[in-house]
Amino acid sequence: MDTASSSFSLKNNLEQNMKKASSDIVVLNPKEHRLIDKIFTDLRAYSSESVMGIATRIMDLERLAVSISRYPPIDERSVLAGEARSAQTLIDTLCTLSPDERLLSMPTKAVLGKGFLVAKLHTFSAITKMAMNAYLEEKDIIELRQAILHIVFVLMAEDVYTALLDNQKLDTAIKKEVAESLTELWEHRLDDRAADFTPVLNKVWLARNKIAPNFGSMLGASELFLLSMELDELWEEFMIQKLPDPEVGQALEEFLFGISYEEINFIRKELKKNGVSAIGRDEVYRLIGKSAYMEADDPKSFYASFIKRKTNADARLRLTIEGPKRTLEDYYIQFTFEKKIYESQS
């Protein structure tokens, strides 16, 4: 296949995808569609092999999405063995299902759809590398990274929604809102609600770079909270309302410092013991026996950080030991649901 025909094939597939039925997985949203089309055009002058590579990867994604979309829609009404099923019955089930039962009770489309998102992330990562090797415009590279970050946030949102459903203390009305958002995410592998929290969490994540180089005064991290409160009005409201809860503050410290609650406490003790008020990044990692630091401009590092903190929080909850039992993302996204319900009732 020559470059021209591969261009036509790619464009044809993308246009067909944009016309899919309402229950189908969306391979590329309009913004991603425009970005890939531009990258595809710009790479033509650089390498026909790269163009073919992109076309092949996108069409593989398309085929995967079509295969997954063959399974029954999440919101389909049906009767199986005399039992009525619908989006509402699924939402009700999700609100009461125990974590150990969830996987085998999830719709097939939901289980396979997460794999689609991972495949999409790998595709965009590969395209980003091609674009960098071709020395395409920096703004295009930034847009590709933003697209990857959006995929990461959708993956993270699914995990957070699931964690919120597992929270036995969560109000039933909030659980129903969360379950509804989760089923909508499963249907198309898009999350419209992500627009409520993605920009804020991204800003707080990037703010870590202002803090991490010398770790400031870890004996009293109030400057961290003041810094993050400057980022967004909704975030400031969240901080004012939720920060009195010690575990929210602990979760924020883990998020900003990039190390665990236990490691933060260890560093604090070392600083106090040695009469030191501040410490550099390299010294922090030497003290805790680590050498790697997650780069803020790598979108995948956000998800890696989230999973690490979530794993630690789950362990503390299970063992009933001191420290944050939930991630900062859990607390903040729950807050956005609470605010939405409050405003709808006002």
Q: What is the pLDDT of residue 61?
A: 95
The answer to whether residue 181 is domain-embedded is yes
Whether residue 115 sits in one domain with residue 239: no
Last residue of a domain, one of 191, 211, 235: 191
Q: What is the pLDDT of residue 280?
A: 74
Whether residue 215 sits in one domain with residue 145: no
Model's pTM, two decimal places? 0.87
How many Cα atoms sit within 13 Å of 257 on the Cβ side?
A: 32
Whether residue 212 sits in one domain with residue 186: no
| pLDDT 10s digits, 87-138 | 889 999 999 999 899 988 899 999 999 999 999 999 999 999 999 999 999 9
| pLDDT 10s digits, 38-92 | 998 998 888 888 889 889 999 999 999 999 999 999 888 766 666 767 888 999 9
Whether residue 161 sits in one domain with residue 72: yes
The answer to whether residue 4 is domain-embedded is no
Whether residue 220 sits in one domain with residue 163: no
Q: How far apart are CA 13 and CA 3, in angstroms?
A: 15
Whether residue 181 sits in one domain with residue 213: no
The answer to whether residue 8 is domain-embedded is no
Whether residue 253 sits in one domain with residue 275: yes
The answer to whether residue 19 is domain-embedded is no
- List the beta bridge partners of residue 83: 80
Question: What is the band of 155 on the pLDDT scale with cuts at 50, 70, 90?
Answer: very high
Last residue of a domain, one of 146, 175, 191: 191
Q: What would the mean pLDDT of 137-159 be, rounded to a whole number?
A: 94
Whether residue 281 sits in one domain with residue 261: yes
The answer to whether residue 143 is domain-embedded is yes
Q: Among 106, 123, 148, which Cα is nearest to 40's? A: 123
- List the beta bridge partners of residue 78: 85
- The crossing angle, in degrees rounded to 10, of helices 108-133 and 138-166 is 160
Classified as helix, coil or strand, 299 is helix
The answer to whether residue 323 is domain-embedded is yes
Last residue of a domain, one of 158, 191, 224: 191
Domain count along the chain = 2
Domain limits at 105? 27-191
Give rounded-to-5 percent helix, strand, coil for the chain: 70, 0, 25
Residues 6+ apart with CB under 8 A from 104: none
Q: What is the pLDDT of residue 20?
A: 45
The answer to whether residue 263 is domain-embedded is yes
Q: How far apart are CA 191 and CA 213, in angstroms?
A: 34
185 pLDDT exceeds 60? yes
| pLDDT 10s digits, 199-218 | 888 888 877 766 655 565 65
Whether residue 187 sits in one domain with residue 60: yes
Whether residue 178 sits in one domain with residue 140: yes
139 pLDDT exceeds 50? yes
The answer to whether residue 11 is domain-embedded is no
Alpha-carbon Rg for the chain, nearest whole angstrom, is 22
Q: What is the pLDDT of residue 16?
A: 47
Percentage of residues in the chain with pLDDT exceeding 90? 50
Helices (H), ranges, 99-171 = 99-105, 108-133, 138-166
Lookup: tokens for 152:
């990461």
Whether residue 281 sits in one domain with residue 164: no
Q: How far apart are CA 169 and CA 191, in angstroms?
A: 25
Lookup: tokens for 144:
């590709």
Whether residue 306 sits in one domain with residue 173: no
